[in-house]
Amino acid sequence: MITSRAAKPEAPLDIEERIYRSVFEGVMEQRLTPGTKLPEAALCELFDVKRATVRKVLQRLAHDHIVELRLNRGAVVAAPTPEETRQIFEARRALEGALLELAVEHATKADIAALRKQLAQEHEAMHRFDQPAWARLASSFHLQVAALGRNPVLLRYLTELISRCSLIVALYEPPGNAACEHEEHERIVDCIASGNAKGALKLMQTHLRELEQRIVLHSEQPEPSLAQKLGLKT
C-alpha cells in the first residue's frame, strides 16, 4: 500500500527565488508594466509567505532596478523617465557591442547551432502571434549572444540593462510591435558565424537604435490582476 506524503515545504531561498523570478519574468514578458503596484499583502497571499520574505525579495528587485521602493507607498515596477531611457539605451549599445565582439571571437560551431535553434523558436512564436513568448525570446537572444563573449561580469551588467529595456518597451512601445525584428537577429547570427565582427557590430548598433526610435512616450493598456501579471493565473 502506498501512503501519500505531505508536500515538502519550499526552503526559504527556493521561495525567494520563485518570487523574484515571477516578478522578473513578468517584466521580461511585459505582463508587469512600469508603475504596477506590488503590495506586500497580496504577494504574501499569492506565495503563502511572511512579509519578511516578500520584503527581502523586493529589496533585491530594487537593487536590480526592477522595482522602486517608495516611502509610505510600497513597491512598484520601475518606470524609467525619457532621460533615463536615453541613458539606458546608450549604455546597452556600448556594453552589448563589447560583448558581441568577444562573441564573434569565441563562438564555436555548437554555439552557432544553438543560436540557430533560438532563431527557429523565435520564428515559430512570431507566426503563432504569441507576443509574450516573442518578447521573452527576443530578450533571450541578446543574452545568449552576449554569453558567448565568455565574460560573466559584463554579462551580469547587460542582463540588468536588458531587463530595464524591457520595462521601457512595455511602457513606451506601441502595442503590436515586436520587441526585436527576427530578420535582424538572423543577419547578426550570419555575421557571427562568418567571423565578421565589424558587420555584426554595425547590425547590432542599428538594431538597438531602431528599437529605441520605435518608443513613444505614452501607453494605454488594460490592467490585469497581479496574479495574472506574475504568471500565476491565465
Q: Are residues 86 and 160 in the same domain?
A: yes
State the pLDDT at residue 4: 45
User: Which helix (H) or strand (E) is 68 found in, with range?
Assistant: strand 67-70
Q: Are residues 101 and 200 in the same domain?
A: yes
Would you say residue 7 lies in a domain? no
**Domain with 96 in it: what CATH number?**
1.20.120.530
Confidence of residue 104 (pLDDT cuts 50, 70, 90): very high
Q: Are residues 206 and 92 in the same domain?
A: yes
Q: Are residues 28 and 69 in the same domain?
A: yes
Would you say residue 3 lies in a domain? no
* More confident of the two residues 15 and 29: 15
What are the pLDDT digits (tens) for 140-189?
A: 899 999 999 999 999 999 998 988 887 787 667 665 555 577 789 999 99
Instruction: Tell me the average pLDDT across 6-20.
Output: 77
What are the pLDDT digits (tens) for 192-205?
A: 999 999 999 999 99
Domain range for residue 22?
12-79+220-229
Q: Are residues 62 and 152 in the same domain?
A: no
CA-closest candidate to residue 230, choices 41, 74, 44, 21: 21
Q: Are residues 94 and 35 in the same domain?
A: no
Number of domains in the chain: 2
Largest CA distance in the chain: 67
Q: Are residues 124 and 26 in the same domain?
A: no
Would you say residue 135 lies in a domain? yes
Confidence of residue 100 (pLDDT cuts 50, 70, 90): very high
State the pLDDT at residue 131: 59
State the pLDDT at residue 230: 77
Q: Are residues 142 and 39 in the same domain?
A: no
Q: Are residues 94 and 190 in the same domain?
A: yes
Q: Which residues contact 46 (CB under 8 A, 6 or more apart)?
A: 226, 227, 230, 232
Q: Are residues 87 and 172 in the same domain?
A: yes
Would you say residue 1 lies in a domain? no
In this predicted structure, the answer to whether residue 43 has a pLDDT above a threshold of 90 is yes
Would you say residue 67 lies in a domain? yes
Q: Are residues 27 and 117 in the same domain?
A: no
What phi and psi, each to the nearest 5 degrees, are found at residue 38? -120, 80
Would you say residue 5 lies in a domain? no
Q: Are residues 104 and 47 in the same domain?
A: no
User: Which helix (H) or strand (E) is 75 found in, with range?
Assistant: strand 74-77
